[in-house]
Homo-oligomer: A and B are copies of this chain.
Amino acid sequence: METETLDCLSRLAPDLMEDMRQRAAVLERISALQPVGRRALSQRLRLPEREIRAICDRLKDDGFLAVAASGMTLSEKGTAALPGARELVHALSGLSTLENALTRALNVGRVCIVPGNADLDPEVLHEAGRLAARHLTALLRDGMTLTVSGGTSVAAVAQAMPRGTHRLNVHVLPARGGLGMALETQAGTLAAEIARALGGRHSLLHVPDQISPDALKALLVMPEVRETIRALHHTDVLLYGIGRAEVMAASRSLPEAEIRGILSRGAVGEAVGNYFGADGRLVFQASEVGLSGEELRQVPHVVAIAAGAIKARAVIAVMRHHHHELLVIDEGAAREIMKVM
């Protein structure tokens, strides 16, 4: 859907196109949350319930919606109209233009932008997760090795992973052993969750970042650990969330002095325990085990996810270090990136 026609329409009748965007957005949201009711929709779309009701009545009359006691569902006709609606809401929010600009500016294979700002609306992160999950499954092939990081962003992807639709024999690995965070956002937990959703298998890597050389040596002789590390180096697809250096450094239980050291060397972005400066230079890596900063450059398919305007500089830093096939961010991050670049 080219943007020129829509621009013309928006200039001629901004009010009508705004209505149009809302209608398309409602349809899109219903498809993502079905079966769903007016109240839930009004929360997600930040619109008065009455307005949602009016729009839904309209969509219902037009035959796009099937209503049940449990909520509203897309009818067959609605499903058919969905792709168009998706493109529409995207283009009308100006996100297509943003995506193109960022694809060039960041030298990424493809940038996908989700509407909203995760800093203000936690739901946006989930939507980003849904989108990343869709693209990820499209990328995966039978027999591939998928490596994932920890963090809330990847957790959102795991949660949104389509469950058992088509079983894929995928081997899912954690990018590192890191035990610094809550269990439900650790890489190992997420690897297991994603593997279960896909119908594949997973391995774990119980190697803390802060580990004595002796202990490390002892762990490395264990067959499962060696096997997992070996598999890591044959990663086909890598999925990670991008973090802010200061936040990530603080959340890993590093000595205060070391944190200051990392930051004083200009670290702004983090990915898989590696810290990058604003120019994309690798300035620190948290552990010897797992994918090193240099190895990130070797992975065939790199998918990154980040949400929130606050992560803009971190995203830029990581993008500059190595090439990404896909970057999923939210509108807040996207606009901020455009602003500071």
Contact = CB atoms under 8 A, between A and B. Distances in A.
B6 A5 contact: yes
Contacts of A20: 9, 12-13, 16
Interface stretch (A80-88, A104-112, A240-248, A279-287): A80-88
A19 interface: yes
Interface residues of A, number: 25
A24 B5 CA distance: 13
B11 A84 contact: yes
A24 B8 CA distance: 11
A27 interface: yes
Interface string A308-335: 0000000000000000000000000000
Contacts of A24: 12
Contacts of A15: 58
A90 interface: no
A2 interface: yes
Interface in A35-49: none
Contacts of A8: 1, 81, 84, 87-88
Nearest to A23: B13
A5 B4 CA distance: 10
Contacts of A9: 9, 20, 88
Interface of A: 1-2, 4-6, 8-9, 11-16, 19-20, 23-24, 27, 58, 62, 81, 84-85, 87-88
Q: What 5 A-B pairs have minimum CB-CB distances, sorted nearest first?
A: A8-B84, A5-B5, A1-B5, A16-B16, A16-B20
28 contacts: A1-B4, A1-B5, A1-B8, A2-B2, A2-B5, A5-B5, A5-B6, A8-B81, A8-B84, A8-B88, A9-B9, A9-B88, A11-B81, A12-B20, A12-B23, A12-B24, A12-B27, A12-B81, A12-B84, A12-B85, A12-B88, A13-B19, A13-B20, A13-B23, A14-B62, A15-B58, A16-B20, A16-B23
